[in-house]
């Protein structure tokens, strides 16, 4: 997909005036300045314009998750479908097939400006497959199996079992055989390197840096 985000200045102004109330509401839910927020929403609008609905006759109201998948791959280098499925579930609990402006802004805010605590809460949601506040041993096995297969590790099952045993011993603070949010939070605060211990949940630093430079350059020109 093209990331040419050029819009005619008059069209930018009309769009921003149209969503002025939305901008005020979202400014309280993200870590962007007003100008940065406006640019984030202009990017959303441009992506929306690039996406033609199935009828091919009009621009849809929201970015589809399918289009969002392409955005993730291009902007953040994440293309694995299972990883994206878990990320979507953590970013937007709704079962919709589209991505709203609110979800878009919160996603960019988290990836580009999110605090460590915000990322801890988000990553736990990515790994909490049942959404019940607990990462069970079975879920750990599923998550780690995907990681080891992706890296073509020989004797996957044995490697996964050993790694899960190590993580359980280190992270299961209350020794109940599973990892609660409190277990995960306390462990990751002490050892930040374990933030993504169950697989990728955030874009890597290279893609965040590359997109940040493009994003901030757009803000300066705006």
Contact 104, 40 (CB under 8 A): yes
How many Å apart are CA 139 and CA 134, to the nearest integer? 9
Closest by CA to 78, choosing from 91, 69, 86, is: 69
What confidence score (pLDDT) does residue 28 get?
Answer: 93
Share of the chain above pLDDT 70, in %: 88
pLDDT tops 70 at residue 58: no
Please indicate, yes or no, whether the overall pTM of this predicted structure exceeds 0.95.
Answer: no
Q: What count of other Cβ atoms lies within 10 Å of the Cβ of residue 5?
A: 15
Return phi, psi of residue 136, to 5°. -80, 165
Question: Which 3-state string (H, E, C) describes the chain?
Answer: CCCCCCCCHHHHHHHHHHCHHHHHHHCCCCCCCHHHHHHHHHHHHHHHHHCCCCCCCCCCCCEEHHHHHHHHHHHHCCCCHHHHHHHHHHHCCCCCCEECHHHHHHHHHHHHHCCHHHHHHHHHHHHCCCCCCEEEHHHHHHHHHHHHHHCCCCCHHHHHHHHHHHHHHHHCCCCCCEEEHHHHHHHHHHCHHHCCCCCCCCCCHHHHHHHHHHHHHHHHHC
Read off the pLDDT of residues 15-55 as tens digits, 9 standing for 90 and up: 999 999 999 999 999 999 999 999 999 999 988 887 765 45
Question: Residues 59-82: what's their mean pLDDT?
Answer: 85
CATH topology of domain 118-194: Recoverin; domain 1 (1.10.238)
Read off the pLDDT of residues 97-152 as tens digits, 9 standing for 90 and up: 889 999 999 999 999 999 999 999 999 999 999 999 999 999 999 999 888 876 66
178-180/98-99 β-pairing: unpaired
Question: Residues 82-99: what's their mean pLDDT?
Answer: 84
Question: Residues 165-187: what's their mean pLDDT?
Answer: 96
Per-domain residue ranges of the chain: 10-114, 118-194
Contact 110, 92 (CB under 8 A): no
More confident residue, 62 or 181: 181
Contact 106, 29 (CB under 8 A): yes
pLDDT band at 59 (very low <50, low <70, confident <90, very high): low
pLDDT tops 90 at residue 171: yes
How many Å apart are CA 127 and CA 140, to the nearest integer? 8
pLDDT tops 50 at residue 161: yes
Question: Residues 67-88: what's their mean pLDDT?
Answer: 88
**Class of the CATH-defined domain 10-114:** mainly alpha
**CA count, 13 A, side-chain hemisphere, 89:** 17
How many Å apart are CA 167 and CA 139, to the nearest integer? 13
């Amino acid at each position: 997909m093209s990331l040419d985000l050029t819009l005619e200045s008059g069209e930018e102004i009309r769009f921003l005036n149209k969503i002025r109330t939305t901008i005020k509401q979202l400014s309280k839910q993200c870590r962007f300045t007003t100008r940065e927020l406006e640019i984030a929403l202009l990017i959303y609008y441009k992506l929306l314009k690039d996406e033609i609905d199935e009828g091919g006759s009009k621009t849809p109201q929201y970015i589809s998750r399918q289009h969002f998948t392409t955005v993730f791959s291009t902007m953040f280098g994440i293309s694995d479908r299972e990883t994206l499925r878990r990320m979507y579930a953590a970013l937007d609990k709704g079962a919709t097939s589209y991505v709203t402006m609110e979800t878009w802004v919160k996603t960019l805010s988290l990836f580009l400006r999110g605090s460590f605590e915000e990322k801890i809460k988000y990553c736990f949601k990515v790994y909490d497959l049942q959404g019940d506040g607990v990462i069970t041993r079975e879920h750990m096995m599923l998550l780690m199996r995907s990681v080891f297969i992706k890296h073509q590790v020989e004797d996957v099952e044995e490697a996964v079992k050993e790694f899960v045993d190590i993580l359980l011993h280190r992270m299961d603070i209350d020794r109940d055989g599973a990892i609660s949010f409190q277990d995960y939070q306390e462990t990751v605060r002490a050892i930040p390197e374990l933030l993504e211990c169950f697989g990728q949940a955030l874009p890597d630093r290279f893609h965040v840096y590359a997109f940040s430079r493009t994003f901030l350059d757009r803000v300066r020109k705006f």
